[in-house]
A and B are shown apart, each in its own frame.
Chain A
């Protein structure tokens, strides 16, 4: 790869746009995951009885659906990211690459 192509990419405003949009999106999702997970852990550490309350008159406790939903959240968040990155962001990346290659 010639230095030329890298310079073209660096000065392309679309590159700045891609990097800003994607990293903002990725960090936002990462922070959601971290907050969800560590809130779960902290409730367990400081107030385990919160999750131990039964739902209605049964034996199923609040903690069970909450715990299982964290598994779903993890899956859904990866799905959301993959969808946007493989669509919108890759589209933008391809445009940047095209533009860098076309004007040698």
Chain B
């Protein structure tokens, strides 16, 4: 399998160097980048081989046996969260808009303390493999699992497409490889990691990638600060001179309407707390103590990373603006687009070798993130839909694991096809929609199942579905789809992200359909809350704690 893949990679390289290099938007073949990337692939395949031998039970597959430490899990969460989109996208945003880039970084970060304070330990104490375990703890398995699995799959699919398309384009520019080959290669590698190595391999791929990304970005930030004499004032004043405007030092037009600003804030904050691949990471540690440590470590690394991207963005303004090697003076943008700012900066700092390193890290980042997503999607299919809905909790473990591996392969293939199909589409709305669905369907059900004793199955199903539908409809009516894709003149929904409305509607609908539920089942579900509450608060009877 390894050799087949290497051959495939090599043939891609040969193919690309023979034909496609030099096509506009595609860079010449970057040999150092490819060698470093191949080293990463070899190392991670080695880890997958090691992890495969240790992945025997369903618990191993979904949660790495629950044996990841808090620190390791914190790094892996940071690895899951620091996608190529946030590395290239946020440094690109800072490069373009200065201060406004910081607004996004902060929005992405502040969800983490909330996750820690309100859901992390309850999640660990109640769940086994997926967040649907928690949501359906005292409610009816079939409807709740089905809805949670749909919410998970929708979030995962949107996120995956965005990552795949981003990966294809990035690799095309960085390595000079053909788009389709790049997407196929990402898909195959991710299938290998997940099917053979399960959560253990996925976790270590995340950890290695997080360390590489943090070291690379730290080096860039230190070199930038070295060039400006380690003074922020110097960095900013040189940037102002280069951009010929002080506007980059204050909030610009990015967040001007208060309603859109709050709506975006809600989506980022509660969306993070509803992302299935993130929630799943809490089951890889042994107990609530390690779960808390994970969030503390993850918040530290993610916050540090956003400070680095802020420095890198400003460094890019100083180092790249006007330099014909990186800057297209006719179009007044960076060559390859403003999202290339971090990549160009790496070249300006450390030449071809460091450019190769950062390119390889960006590719590794995409691989790690798609692996985590695929594992979460496969778990929703095998653990929620198959084992608990179709087999009604009577599936044997081996069959469940086999289904999860088939699901991984199927998701990988679907991701490859969608990645290719969406190449030329405008996919800017997809990550926003993924966060909106996570915040409006997954999060309210999860949160209320933990905190509100009167939640019933009927309330959760109606409220969750209404939240999901509202999020989807409002995104379609917003500028990102209604104007940018469907070519209408003005957006019907004017506030960008739907979260403020869709999350509120979801909570109200869950409340209404729960309190009006007078059925016998509802009474039992409410009565079962106390039992759940004791377990969620103390961890008595929790998975992991009892199996040792």
Q: Which residues of A contact B (CB under 8 A)?
A: 1, 5-6, 9-10, 15, 18-19, 22, 26-27, 29-30, 33-34, 37-38, 40-42, 44-46, 48-49, 51-52, 54, 58-61, 63-64, 67-68, 70-72, 74-75, 77-79, 81-82, 85-86, 90, 93, 96-97, 100
- Shortest distance from the beta carbon of A42 to any chain B beta carbon, whole Å: 7
Contacts of B295 in A (CB 8 A): 78, 82
Contacts of A97 in B (CB 8 A): 538-540
Question: SS class of chain B's interface: helix, strand, loop or mixed?
Answer: helix
CB pair B307 A71 closer than 8 Å: yes
**B421-446 vs A: 1/0 string, CB under 8 Å?**
00000000000000000000000000
Question: Is B240 an interface residue, CB under 8 A from the partner?
Answer: yes
CB pair B530 A61 closer than 8 Å: no
CB pair B258 A71 closer than 8 Å: no
CB pair A19 B236 closer than 8 Å: no
Question: SS class of chain A's interface: helix, strand, loop or mixed?
Answer: helix
Given contacts A45-B261, A52-B251, 11 further A-B contacts (CB under 8 A): A10-B530, A15-B534, A48-B251, A48-B252, A48-B256, A59-B249, A64-B232, A72-B303, A74-B303, A81-B113, A96-B538
Please count how many residues in chain B sit with their CB below 8 Å of the partner chain's CB atoms: 53
- Shortest distance from the beta carbon of A63 to any chain B beta carbon, whole Å: 6
Contacts of B102 in A (CB 8 A): 63-64, 67-68
Contacts of A9 in B (CB 8 A): 534, 538, 540
- Shortest distance from the beta carbon of B108 to any chain A beta carbon, whole Å: 10
CB pair A45 B255 closer than 8 Å: yes
CB pair A29 B257 closer than 8 Å: no
CA distance A98 to B520 in the complex (A): 36
- Shortest distance from the beta carbon of B72 to any chain A beta carbon, whole Å: 16
Report if A81-B292 is in contact (Cβ < 8 Å); known contacts: A6-B531, A44-B261, A59-B236.
yes
Q: Which residue of B has the minimal Cβ distance to A57?
A: B233
Contacts of A93 in B (CB 8 A): 537-539
Q: Which residue of A has the minimal Cβ distance to B287?
A: A90
Q: Which of B106, B299, B530, B540 contacts A70 (CB 8 A)?
A: B106
Contacts of A33 in B (CB 8 A): 110, 113-114, 117
Contacts of B236 in A (CB 8 A): 58-60, 64
CB pair A1 B303 closer than 8 Å: no
Report if A54-B249 is in contact (Cβ < 8 Å); known contacts: A6-B531, A45-B256.
yes
Q: Which of A5, A22, A52 contacts B540 (CB 8 A)?
A: A5
CB pair A86 B292 closer than 8 Å: yes
CB pair B233 A37 closer than 8 Å: no
**B516-533 vs A: 1/0 string, CB under 8 Å?**
000000000000001100
Contacts of A41 in B (CB 8 A): 103, 255, 261-262, 265
Enumerate 8 A-B pairs (CB-CB under 8 Å) in ascending A order: A6-B534, A18-B537, A33-B110, A59-B233, A68-B102, A70-B110, A74-B299, A78-B116
Contacts of B269 in A (CB 8 A): 37
CA distance A15 to B269 in the complex (A): 30
- Shortest distance from the beta carbon of B381 to any chain A beta carbon, whole Å: 30
Q: Which residue of A has the minimal Cβ distance to B300?
A: A75
Contacts of A72 in B (CB 8 A): 303
Q: Which of B107, B117, B237, B252 contacts A26 (CB 8 A)?
A: B117
Nearest 4 Cβ contacts at the A-B interface: A52-B250, A45-B258, A48-B251, A26-B117
CB pair B258 A42 closer than 8 Å: yes
**B382-401 vs A: 1/0 string, CB under 8 Å?**
00000000000000000000
- Shortest distance from the beta carbon of B183 to any chain A beta carbon, whole Å: 34
Q: Which of B106, B114, B246, B252 contacts A40 (CB 8 A)?
A: B106
CB pair B289 A74 closer than 8 Å: no
CB pair B233 A48 closer than 8 Å: no
CB pair A71 B296 closer than 8 Å: no
Q: Which of A52, A74, A77 contacts B249 (CB 8 A)?
A: A52
- Shortest distance from the beta carbon of A39 to any chain B beta carbon, whole Å: 11
